[in-house]
A and B are shown apart, each in its own frame.
Chain A
Amino acid sequence: MQKESGATSDGGADAFAADLLRGHTDTIVLGVLRREDRYGFEIYKAIRDATGGDYEIKEATLYAAYRRLVKDGLVEAYWGDESQGGRRKYYRITDAGRAVYRRNVDAWVATRRTIDSLLDLKGS
């Protein structure tokens, strides 16, 4: 991560955004699950589509996030009952997950304001 942040100085806007996204993987996954239960590939696709396909969070990063979220009780996992093909593991957000999601979104909004004003200050 350190290395990729360093790359931003020589024009790596992609690395900057990817780094920022990765730092919020758990909250992003919670956000994707807010409306309905989904399985791994759906979550991956939802994130990829939302970013316009420019940046993607590696699937391995997502699997690590699922494990963390399940362990902390923010998300519950269950196997779907697909009759053909591989069975899919679905994830469902819990009440605890919703509360943490809301808290993180509030924190992000506050941080964004701070960073915005700090950057403006430097620019002027």
Chain B
Amino acid sequence: MMTSTSVHRLLDEAFAGLPATPDVQDLKEEIRANLLDRVAELTAGGVAPDEAARRAVDELGDVRALAEEASGPTAYTQPAGAPATVPSPAELAARNRVPRNPAYVAVVVLMSMVLAAAVAGTFAAAVALAHQDVGLALPTGIALVAGAALGWIVGASLAQETMTNHPMPAGRSALFGMGWGLVLVGCLLAYVHLSGARHGWLVVDGLALVGGVVLLSYLAATTTNRKKQWALAEARRHVETGNRFERDPAAAARFGIYTAVVWGLTGASVLIVGLTVGWPWVWLPGLLGWAVFMLMLATMLFGAKHQRD
């Protein structure tokens, strides 16, 4: 009991007079847990509880300076008075340019062609299968080629270092490639088996699809940061500038109303086109509505600078 009271008292003394910001509280709790561990270690070694608490706190070093740094809100941001020293995004981009790996580009182009051909080939083979011209092996083989090509493209792309991202470790990017490959193969084979009336096989397709989705979900849930330092700093600066909707609630409200109008009109057009011209054409008004919405978003959210400055 003595132990913990002394540790808590000494910790309070070290943090006395500092503003209780979330950052400072966070640091204090983190240090508290570690101190208790160190005290437990010392007392297990035969040191008297009070002495252990004192030694643990002494070993910390200069916590005060650390806590003061944590309490200052400017610790994370650039000094406001020195915009000239902050390089522009273009300069930063130029400085952090990563040359393209020509072999990677060449193989990706090749693989993209393989992928496109294999997807088209799978559909063609599925039609042939429906007419009993070919066996199941041909469309299955082509679909597997498509999956492998997509998997390779995804995996190899993630493993590349880019201007803003560090490369993903090889094993992890391979798993990402496998996930997307499984999803594609599952979808393609499901189409093949549906059009060929081989419904028993749909179980396998479903398993591939679910397996791929589960793998991708796991990867997405455990994903960590790959952003480079300068890209993170850039992002922080953007957050500080804020976007227009945060600074200008009226614009956000207008945007909401326009959005409702655009999608309402789009829905109506889809219905009208579907009922008059025919349902195969309903994607056209849908696409138009989407384009109008994106244009509106672009002008209202990002075009703000011109109007305001």
Binding site for B on A (CB under 8 A): 39-41, 44, 58-61, 63-64, 67, 71-74, 76, 85-89, 92-100
B79-123: CB near A (< 8 Å → 1, else 0) gives 000000000000000000000000000000000000000000000
Instruction: Pick the interface stretch among B55-63, B201-209, B245-253.
Output: B55-63
B70: contacting residue among A67, A93, A96, A98, CB under 8 A: A67
A59 cross-chain contacts in B, Cβ below 8 A:
31, 34, 59-61
- Contact residues of B between 263 and 302, Cβ < 8 Å to A: none
A73-B225 in contact (CB<8A): yes
Q: How far is the CB of B235 from chain A (nearest CB, A)?
A: 9
B166-202: CB near A (< 8 Å → 1, else 0) gives 1111001000000000000000000000000000000
Main secondary structure of the interface of B (DSSP, over half): helix
**B32, B34, B169 pick with most chain A CB within 10 angstroms:** B34
A86-B63 in contact (CB<8A): no
B224: contacting residue among A58, A88, A95, CB under 8 A: A95
B243 at the interface (CB under 8 A from A): no
B37 at the interface (CB under 8 A from A): yes
Q: How far is the CB of B227 from chain A (nearest CB, A)?
A: 5
B208-237: CB near A (< 8 Å → 1, else 0) gives 000000000000000011111100100000
Known interface pairs A63-B27, A73-B229; A41-B37 also in contact (CB < 8 Å) = yes
B33 at the interface (CB under 8 A from A): yes
A63 cross-chain contacts in B, Cβ below 8 A:
27, 30-31, 63, 66
Task: Compute how far the CA of A58 lies from the CA of B26 in the bound complex, rounded to whole angstroms.
Answer: 19
B16 at the interface (CB under 8 A from A): no
B165 cross-chain contacts in A, Cβ below 8 A:
96
A40-B34 in contact (CB<8A): yes
B38 at the interface (CB under 8 A from A): yes
- Contact residues of B between 11 and 67, Cβ < 8 Å to A: 26-27, 29-34, 36-38, 59-63, 65-66
CB < 8 Å A-B pair total:
93
B61-A98 in contact (CB<8A): no
Q: How far is the CB of A92 from chain B (nearest CB, A)?
A: 7
A40: contacting residue among B30, B59, B62, B70, CB under 8 A: B30
Q: Which 5 A-B pairs have the closest CB atoms?
A: A60-B61, A86-B33, A99-B166, A58-B61, A94-B224
Task: Compute how far the CA of A93 lies from the CA of B169 in the bound complex, rounded to whole angstroms.
Answer: 12
Task: Compute how far the CA of A59 lies from the CA of B31 in the bound complex, rounded to whole angstroms.
Answer: 9
**B69, B168, B225 pick with most chain A CB within 10 angstroms:** B225
A99: contacting residue among B66, B70, B167, B172, CB under 8 A: B167
B29-A86 in contact (CB<8A): yes
A76-B66 in contact (CB<8A): no
B36-A86 in contact (CB<8A): yes
A39 cross-chain contacts in B, Cβ below 8 A:
33-34
A-B pairs with beta carbons under 8 Å apart, 26 shown: A40-B30, A41-B33, A41-B38, A44-B38, A60-B62, A60-B66, A63-B66, A64-B66, A64-B69, A72-B229, A72-B232, A73-B227, A73-B229, A74-B225, A76-B224, A76-B225, A85-B36, A86-B33, A88-B33, A89-B26, A94-B224, A94-B225, A95-B225, A96-B225, A96-B229, A99-B226
B169: contacting residue among A73, A92, A95, CB under 8 A: A95
Task: Compute how far the CA of A62 lies from the CA of B278 in the bound complex, rounded to whole angstroms.
Answer: 68
Q: How far is the CB of A104 from chain B (nearest CB, A)?
A: 13
Q: How far is the CB of A86 from chain B (nearest CB, A)?
A: 3
Q: Which residue of A lies closest to B56 (CB)?
A: A59
B37-A94 in contact (CB<8A): no
A76 cross-chain contacts in B, Cβ below 8 A:
224-225
A58 cross-chain contacts in B, Cβ below 8 A:
59-62
Task: Compute how far the CA of A18 lies from the CA of B53 in the bound complex, rounded to whole angstroms.
Answer: 25
Task: Compute how far the CA of A64 lies from the CA of B36 in the bound complex, rounded to whole angstroms.
Answer: 20
B226: contacting residue among A44, A87, A96, CB under 8 A: A96
Q: Which residue of B lies closest to A57 (CB)?
A: B61
Task: Compute how far the CA of A39 lies from the CA of B33 in the bound complex, rounded to whole angstroms.
Answer: 9
B33 cross-chain contacts in A, Cβ below 8 A:
39-41, 85-89
- Contact residues of B between 137 and 188, Cβ < 8 Å to A: 161, 165-169, 172
